[in-house]
Amino acid sequence: MYLLGLAILLSLLKLAEIGSVANWSWWYILGVYASAAAWWAWADASGYTKRKAMEKMDQRKQDRINRQKEAMQPGKRR
């Protein structure tokens, strides 16, 4: 996601002709887009994306269990 943000930022700088990016070739900026596409292809093919989603879901589940355990403790009232 960071590579895509960088590519968009570089594109905007190139279009607005701001800074040294204005003198760069479009191929460099397209290379950043290609790097972002390669990263996404690798992340999907290797299971990285799915693994991160499952870790996030497991953490939410554990947080919910911990909140329920805490609420069931004696002497605790809402």
Whether residue 33 is contained in a domain is answered as yes
User: Do 7 and 25 touch, CB atoms closer than 8 A?
Assistant: no
Kindly state whether residue 77 falls inside one of the protein's structural domains. no
The C-alpha atoms of residue 8 and residue 43 are separated, in whole angstroms, by 20
Cα gap 36→5, rounded to integer Å: 9
9 and 45 Cβ atoms separated by less than 8 Å: no
The domain of 36 spans 2-71
Q: pLDDT tens digits for 58-76? A: 999 999 999 999 888 887 6
**Residue 76 falls within a domain, yes or no?**
no
Query: Residue 27: its pLDDT value, please?
Result: 96
Q: How many structural domains compose the chain?
A: 1
What is the full per-residue pLDDT of the chain (78 aa) written as tens digits?
A: 899 999 999 999 999 999 999 999 999 999 999 999 999 999 989 998 889 899 999 999 999 999 999 888 887 665
* Residue carrying structure tokens 């093919």: 45
**Radius of gyration from C-alpha coordinates of the chain:** 22
Specify if 44 maps to a domain: yes
pTM of the model as a whole: 0.66
